[in-house]
Amino acid sequence: MASAPRLRRPAVVGGLATVVAAGLFVTVTNAEAATAFSADFESGSTSGWSKSGGTWSIVSDGSQVFQQSDSGSERAREFAGDSGWANYSVQARVKATSFASSAGVVALTARAAGSTKMYRLSLTGSNKVQLETMNGSSITVLGSLSQTISTSTFYTLKLTLNGSTISGTINGTSVGSATDSTIGAGRIGLLTEHAAGRFDDVVVDNGSSTPTSSPTSAPTTSPTTTPTTPPTTSPTTPPTSGALYVATNGVAGAAGTPSAPTTLPDAITRVAAGGTIYLRGGTYNLASTVTIATGNDGTSSARKTLSAYPGETPVLDFSAQSESSANRGLQLMANYWHVYGITVQHAGDNGIFIGGSNNIVERVVTAFNRDSGLQISRAASTTPAGQWPANNLIVSSESHDNMDSGGENADGFASKLTSGTGNVFRYDVSHNNIDDGWDLYTKTDTGPIGPVTIEYSLSYNNGTLTNGTVNANGDRNGYKLGGEDIAVNHLIQHDIAYHNGHHGFTYNSNPGSMTIANDVSIDNAERNFSFDEGTSTFRTDTSCRFAVSGSNDKTVGSTDSTDQFWSGTNGSRCATYSGALGWSFAADGKLQVTFGGTVVNP
C-alpha cells in the first residue's frame, strides 16, 4: 500500500490566506479559507522561509522535515508569514534531536517582530516546556510544565495569541496562559539555541473565516426526524445564572462558581434543564468513565449543555484506563443534551458513547481512544429496539488516531449494531483511524439499524495512524455502510473519501436502497466506490485517481450520466480535485475542504 500523504489544513490571517503545501504557495481569499499558512516540506522546498543562523536542511524522518543540525549554534531561526499577523495560532511537530547543554532550547515562535523579539514555546534541555516572551536578551517565562524531553520523539506544540492573551500547549496539555502585551504582531518562526532540532507540519490558523455561501446544493432527502439545529457558534459570554463551572482543580460539592469550581461528575448530577456546565481549559486526568445517566434529561426547548468555556479547550484524558469495553470515556445515556467544544482522548474503549436520543454533539475531538472515537449504540443489551438511540446530530467534529489492540474495531465515527432512526453526521472529519472512517455495521443477531445520514463530511487516510502504524486486521474503508446482508437505506451525500487503505465508499454487504449522491472518492487503495449488490441510487458521484492505481469502481443499482466513475480514466470533474488536500471548520461550523488551496465542497 502506498504511504499516506500528509494533510495540510488550509486558515486565514489578515484578509488573505497563503497556503504552503509541499512547497507550493496558493493564495485564496478569506471567504474561501480558514488557514493562513501550512508547510509539510514534502517537496524538499523551503521557499517562503527566511534563515537567520544555523545549518538548515530538509531531511527524512518518517516524512520530510525541516532540520537545524548544528547544536553548537548560539541561536538559529527560520521565519515565515507576515509581519502584520496578530491574532492566530501556530502549531507544529517539533523534535529536539540534541542539546548542547541544559540551557538548550528548541522552540516554535509567534509574533516575531524582530530576530530577538517574539513569543516562544520551548522544549528545553532541563526537561521543561516553557511559554516565554523573548525581548532582546531578556527572556520572561509566562508558563512552565515539567516534561521529559526525548530526543527521539516529536511533540505537537501550539501557540495561541488573542490580543494580550498568550497560551501554549504540548500534545494538547496546557503549558500556560498569560496576559502579556509586549508584542502586538509578527511572523511565525522555528528556533534553536545551543541545540539541534527538527520541525514538521507547520499550520497557522486563526479560525475567523466565514464562507460566503452555503454548500452549493441542499440535501436531496432527509431522515425521518431531523435533530434540532444547534447554535452555529459557541457562547461568547457565560450567563450569570443557570451555569455551573468545572475546572481541573474543582472540588466535588463546591458551589460551582468561577471562583469555586466543582468536578465534572458532580456538575452533571446538579445541572437543571436549560442550564450549562462550563468546562474550563486544561487537561482533566480521569481514570473512571464519566456518565450522563439515563433519565438525566433536558427537554426539546431546554437542553442541558456541557460546553467548553468560551475561548478555552478542555481535554478529558483517560490515559489511566486499561483497554476494556467497560472503560469508555464520556457516556451520554440521557436525552436532549448539547455537548460542545471538548476533546476526549485515550479512553480504554469509546471516547464518547451515545446511548440516548435527541442529543447534539458539536465541535468535539475524539482521539487516541481504544475503540471507535464516537459511537452511537443502545445503552444496554436489554434496551428494546424501539428505544435505541435516535435523532442524534454529530456536527463539525473530528475523530482521529483511534486504535484497538486487535486493529479491527476502532473507527472514527460509528452508528452501528443497535442505533435507531434519524442519526445524522454533518460537517465531520474522520482520519487516520486504524479501522474505518465511518462504520454503519449491522449483524443478524440484532437486525437492521435505523437509516443514517452522513453529509458534507470528509474521511481520509483511515487504516493508517498518523505515526504510520497499520494493522492488517483493519478494514480500512472511508465509509463502511453495512454488514451481513441486512438492508438499510442510508443517505450518504456531499461526502469525500480520500486515500483510505481499502475502499472509499463500500456497501459492505448492505443490499438496501441507499442514496449515494454528490460524493467524491479519490485514490483509495482498492475501489473508490464498491457496491456489489442492492438497489442504491447514485447521482453526481465523482471518482478520481492521481497517485494510487486501485481497481475499477463497481456500482450495482441506478446510475446515470451525472456520475463519473473510474474505469481507467478520470472524468472532467477530477481536475477540481487535484492538488494537496486541506480542510478547516469555518466560523459557523461548516466544513471547508480544499484541493490545491481551492474550496471544493461537493
Can you tell me the distance from the alpha carbon of 586 to that of 490, in angstroms, rounded to the nearest whole number?
27
Q: Which residues lie closer than 8 Å to 371 by C-beta, 6 or more apart?
A: 325, 347, 349, 350, 402, 404, 409, 410
Can you tell me the distance from the alpha carbon of 78 to that of 534, in angstroms, rounded to the nearest whole number?
56
Structural contact between residues 15 and 30, judged by C-beta atoms closer than 8 angstroms: yes
Instruction: Determine the 3-state secondary structure of 386 from DSSP.
Output: helix
Structural contact between residues 10 and 28, judged by C-beta atoms closer than 8 angstroms: yes
Distance between alpha carbon 574 and the CA centroid of its chain, in Å?
26
Please report how many Cα atoms fall inside a 13 Å half-sphere around the Cα of residue 515, on the Cβ side. 15
**Catalytic, out of 158, 304, 480, 590:** 480
Residue recorded with cell 508547510: 39
H, E, C per residue of 507-564: CCCCCCCCEEECCEEECCCCCCEEEEEEEEEEECCEEECCCCCCCCCEEEEECCCCCE
Can you tell me the distance from the alpha carbon of 426 to that of 230, in angstroms, rounded to the nearest whole number?
11
6: DSSP letter: P
Determine whether 554 is an active site residue: no
Give the ranges where 95-186 is alpha helix by DSSP (H): none
Distance between alpha carbon 244 and the CA centroid of its chain, in Å?
27
CA angle 320–360–364, rounded 5-degree value: 40
Can you tell me the distance from the alpha carbon of 485 to that of 214, in angstroms, rounded to the nearest whole number?
37
Q: Which helix (H) or strand (E) is 267 found in, with range?
A: helix 264-270
Structural contact between residues 39 and 19, judged by C-beta atoms closer than 8 angstroms: no
Structural contact between residues 222 and 517, judged by C-beta atoms closer than 8 angstroms: no
Can you tell me the distance from the alpha carbon of 548 to that of 551, in angstroms, rounded to the nearest whole number?
9
Structural contact between residues 247 and 323, judged by C-beta atoms closer than 8 angstroms: no
Catalytic residues: 480
